[in-house]
Structure formats: C-alpha cells, structure tokens
A and B are shown apart, each in its own frame.
Chain A
C-alpha cells in the first residue's frame, strides 16, 4: 500500500536539481521495494522520460506507454543500478532513449519515416510542445547554440529525431564518417559546456 508519502515532501520542482532526496538515494530505496521512493523517482524522472519519448516517437499515446514501461523497468531493475556506471538520471535516460528508438526502428513503416523526415527539421526548435521552461533547458539550448551547425544537427537528429548515423548522413547530405565524428565532437563540446562528467 502507498498511503502516506514522505518522499513527496522532498519532491523537487520540475527541472530542479534533486535536493536532499537525490535520485540515487531514492533508487536505493526503490531497490528495497519502497513504493513511496518509487513515487519520488517517478516525479523526478517521468517528465524527462516522457519528453524524450515524445520527441522520438511523436505519437502521444505511444510515448506515454514507453514512459510507463521505462519507469516500470526502473522499478524492476533498481537493485542492479550501479552508481559507478554513471548518474541515475543518465541511466534512466539511456534506457528511455534506447527504448523509444528501438520502438521507432521496429515499427516504422516507410510512409511514416518519410513523414518524419519532413518534420525532422523542426525537432530542435519545436516550440509547440508544452516544454517546461527551466534553467536547465536554457542552459542546454545555449550550449547547443555553441555547436557548429553540422555538430548540432547531427546530435539533435540522432537524439531527438531517433535517426541512425547513416540516416543522418543522408538527411544532411554528408559522408557517413563525417556524421560520426560530428556526433562525437558535438557531444564532447556539449559535455564540456554543461560541465557534466
């Protein structure tokens, strides 16, 4: 049963860095079957998981499904989370992105792909989404602006568009090898700009 919910009190606002109850701490409690802690994990992680699923899949219903699947995977496998591999956020977002991309690649039919290609150019500047405007978001946007056009487009088409590097190469009309290095260099620049490690 999940009656009272102590973790709710420490629930950070959207986009805020986790306060006293970091995602890592919550995950450790989730690993012990703590439902209240799972609620806290949901509150912190679900918006970003849904956000990335929406960017990649576009379809709201499928995105919600992916969001729930990912959160339930987190519930199921919390005991296997290893902080030495990286932050809890990175872990959950890796799972979320991969799940969304896998679904796109396995279900996409040719016509849908073409449609997506037509809408891909708005992926980065997509303002129709009810994106929560946060400091984090501003910072990411500023850092993305610091990339070269080719780096930025390579990274965002892959991450937000769910395209493979071969598809990105085709969309941008550049060599496959170029796209691979731009993805790497763009992410390195993004990492340095954001000051994450």
Chain B
C-alpha cells in the first residue's frame, strides 16, 4: 500500500500537466482524497502550470468576445453547492471534496471528449452547440438564411455522434467538417480559401469506391469564411473532397482535390 502510494505520489507532476491516462487520473484522484501532502503539491504545481498558460497568452479576435457574451445569455448557470456536512470535514478532506466536485462537475474527469458526448454529457454538448450555433447563425444571417438548411445544420450539430474534423487546404485556408452518421449529413465550412477568378468556383465531392458524386458548389466566401454547406447521404469510408471547377459546376472532378476528409468512422 505504501509503495503504491509512493508510486502514485510520483505522478503528481504528470497529473498537473494532464499527461496521464484516464485510468491514472482516476487512481491519482482517489489517492488525493487521503493524501494531504499531495493536495498541497497539486495546488502549488497547478499555480505554476497556470503561469505557463498566461505566458502563452494571445489576443483573441475581437468578435469572439461579443459572441461569447451572447452565448452566455442563453446558458443557465449552475447553482452553488449546498453541503451541510462541509463544516464537519477536516480542511484537507473539504479541499479534496471541492476539488473532486469541480472536476466532476465540469465533466472532465472520466473519458475523452467524444466518449463523454456519446455517453450523454448533454451540457457540454449544449455549450459546444451554442458556440457552433452562434458562429453558424451569424454566418447564416450574412448568407440569407435557408430554413431547410437551418434544420439540417441543427440536426448535425445536435447529433450525439457528431464529430468535428479539420484539414488544411493545399492552396491555403482550412476546412472544417462537422459530421454525424446518425443525421446522415455533414456541415462544411472553410476559412481563408484562396480567392478564385469569377469563372471558377470551389466544388465539393463525395468520393468513394462507388465513384465520385458532386456534393455542391460552394458560394463565394464572405469575410474570409465560406459556407456553411450541408452535404447529406454519406457513406462510411467515403471521402469529402474539394476541387476548383468552372463556376457553372462540373459533373466529374476535372482537377485534383485541394483537401480530402475521410468520413469514417
């Protein structure tokens, strides 16, 4: 027991910088409940680690501030925890309780992000969806909203199996795909795509063993953002690809893909 405790205590640094597996994390946090020295160490080392974060500070894009404030308007706050037992606990125990509670209340404790979402951590999903929703919504307004597309986007963003993938576009910019096999659709957005002459446009494709099928022409970018674009009827194992085509569109890709995103699993 003693050696196990010592082994766990060595983990304190790795624990503080999140370099541990979920299993290590869980056993260290159990150990933390009864180890006052570890609690003191974690507390001090977390302050040190936080300084590594503040030293890396970068200025967010100004518009993110207002977006975040707007999102907060829609999120109900959790009430404080009321615990009649607290007064009777020793300081160390109280600390460990608080620690555990806030870690678990954030849903950060057990499993990786997607597993948690799949397991039904609805709140995290709600927060994520709100952020996404807002970004989508503001884009939406600029691009004259289409109600059907709204519904399709909402279905993807709200799907429990939703996954987000991003990829570099070889000619510049970045593509983000939010995909749900359950909703059988994906939402495509790109930022910073290279400007094309008026005679050309970006076209999306679903490429798979069964052949390549056109998945839609992207509208011209606005403020550096292109999309959102909904693509449905997905096949697992297919790839979503983007090429440059004549502005009128093509039935088969006539140039090589600038980005490919795999749609499995």
Contacts and interface: CB of A to CB of B under 8 A. Distances in A.
Which A-B residue pairs are the 4 nearest by beta carbons? A184-B13, A183-B13, A106-B112, A51-B56
B239 to A, nearest CB: 13
B65 to A, nearest CB: 6
B58 A51 contact: yes
Contacts of B60: 46-47, 50, 64, 67
Contacts of A71: 68
Given A65-B128, A80-B78, A102 B113 contact: yes
A180 B131 contact: no
B68 A79 contact: no
A145 interface: no
A31 B72 CA distance: 12
B80 A80 contact: yes
Most chain B beta-carbon contacts within 10 A, residue among A33, A59, A77, A180: A180
A15 B106 contact: no
Given A61-B191, A140-B55, A106 B115 contact: yes
Contact of A75 (B41, B45, B77, B95): B77
Contacts of B45: 184, 187-188, 191
Given A131-B57, A158-B17, 15 more contacts: A39-B65, A46-B64, A51-B53, A51-B58, A59-B166, A64-B61, A72-B68, A80-B78, A93-B50, A101-B18, A130-B59, A136-B55, A137-B57, A165-B14, A184-B45
B17 A97 contact: yes
Given A94-B46, A163-B19, A183-B19, A75 B72 contact: yes
A72 B64 contact: no
A159 B99 CA distance: 20
Given A47-B60, A101-B18, A79 B78 contact: yes
A134 B51 CA distance: 12
Contact of A140 (B12, B51, B68, B115): B51
Interface string B1-42: 000000000111110111111000000000000000000010
Given A31-B77, A67-B60, A77-B105, A87 B127 contact: no
Contacts of A139: 55
Interface residues of A, number: 97
A183 B18 CA distance: 11
Given A87-B47, A163-B19, A137 B55 contact: yes
Given A64-B60, A93-B53, A165-B19, A107 B165 contact: yes
A73 to B, nearest CB: 6
Contacts of B11: 180, 184
B98 interface: yes
Determine chain B's interface SS by DSSP, over half rule. helix
Interface residues of B, number: 74
A95 B108 contact: yes
Contact of A107 (B55, B73, B114): B114
A78 interface: yes
15 contacts: A48-B56, A50-B58, A72-B71, A75-B77, A77-B77, A85-B43, A89-B54, A97-B17, A102-B112, A106-B112, A131-B55, A155-B13, A159-B49, A188-B44, A194-B48
Most chain A beta-carbon contacts within 10 A, residue among B75, B76, B80: B80
A64 B56 CA distance: 14
Nearest to A59: B166
Interface of A: 2, 14-15, 31, 33, 35, 38-39, 42-43, 46-52, 54-55, 59-62, 64-65, 67-69, 71-73, 75-82, 84-87, 89-99, 101-103, 105-107, 129-132, 134, 136-137, 139-141, 155-156, 158-160, 162-166, 168, 177, 179-188, 190-191, 194, 196-197
Interface of B: 10-14, 16-21, 41, 43-61, 64-65, 67-69, 71-73, 75-81, 91, 94-95, 98-99, 101-102, 105-106, 108, 112-115, 123-124, 127-128, 130-132, 163-166, 174, 176, 191
A62 B177 CA distance: 11
A186 B13 contact: yes
B156 to A, nearest CB: 15
Nearest to A126: B56
Given A82-B102, A136-B51, A73 B127 contact: yes
